[in-house]
Structure 1
Amino acid sequence: MFIINLTYKAEVKKIDQFLDEHIEFLNEQYELKHFLASGRKVPRTGGIILCNIKSKSELERIIENDPFKKNKLADYALVEFVPSKTCEELKFLME
């Protein structure tokens, strides 16, 4: 499992120009069951995605299709972790 930490490299005005395309990218990944949760940072300096992809190289290939990546609007930090404890509703993450 990975936490994807996006940090914007451009002004929010520029980010907003590609936001609809980014949301389409996210929707595709949710449909494929790759992404579990996502949202903006507060303050709005980027975003966070919780991803259940097991392979870092596969995740890197997926990220290349994100319009924010294609247009060099954000940096991506990938943090891999293994859940060892969850609330009851998220037990599936440990399977």
Structure 2
Amino acid sequence: MFVLELTYTDDVARADALMDAHIAWLDAQYAAGVFIASGRKNPRDGGVILAVGDDRAQIEKIAAADPFSVDGVCTYRITEFYATKTAPELAPFREQLPS
């Protein structure tokens, strides 16, 4: 599993101008089964996305396609972790530690 932390590198007004395109990009990743949660940070200096996938390169490629990334509005910090314990509703996403 991956935590994608977005940090705005430009004025929030620029992010707002790209928000519809960003939301369409989010929706496509939810439909593809890659994203399982997302939202704004508080204070509003970016956002956080929880993503599932086996390949960090794939997640990096997806993040690079975000309209916020394409237009230089944010940077991404991607952290991979093993979701060995979850709420019951997230049980399908539980992972085993590698051997």
Settle same-fold status: TM greater than 0.5.
yes
2:91 paired with 1:85: no
Counterpart of 1:57? 57
Per-residue deviation, 1:85: 1.0
Cα offset, 1:19, TM superposition: 0.4
Q: Deviation at 1:89?
A: 1.4
Q: AA paired with 1:20?
A: D
What does residue 9 of structure 2 align with?
Answer: 9
Question: Is 1:76 paired with 2:81?
Answer: no
Question: Which aligned pairs between 1:22-41 and structure 2 lie closer than 5 A?
Answer: 22-41=22-41
Q: In 2, distance between residues paired with 1:21 and 1:85?
A: 34
Task: Please give the alpha-carbon distance, in whole angstroms, between the structure 1 residues aligned to 2:86 and 2:34.
Answer: 19
Q: Which runs of 5+ in 2 are unaligned?
A: none
SS in 2 for 1:63: helix
Determine the C-alpha separation between the residues in 1 that align with 2:69 and 2:17.
14
Write the distance in 2 (CA, Å) between the matches of 1:88 and 1:50: 16
Please tell me the residue identity of whatever aligns with 1:3: V
**The 10-residue stretch of structure 1 (82-91 or 29-38) with the greater mean CA deviation from structure 2:** 82-91
Identity %: 40
CA distance in 2: counterparts of 1:88 and 1:17, whole angstroms:
37
Partner amino acid, structure 1, of 2:66? D
Aligned length: 95
Cα-Cα RMSD: 0.9
Gaps in structure 1 of 5+ consecutive residues: none
The SS at the match of 1:18 is: helix
Question: CA–CA distance in 1 between the matches of 2:57 and 2:21?
Answer: 23
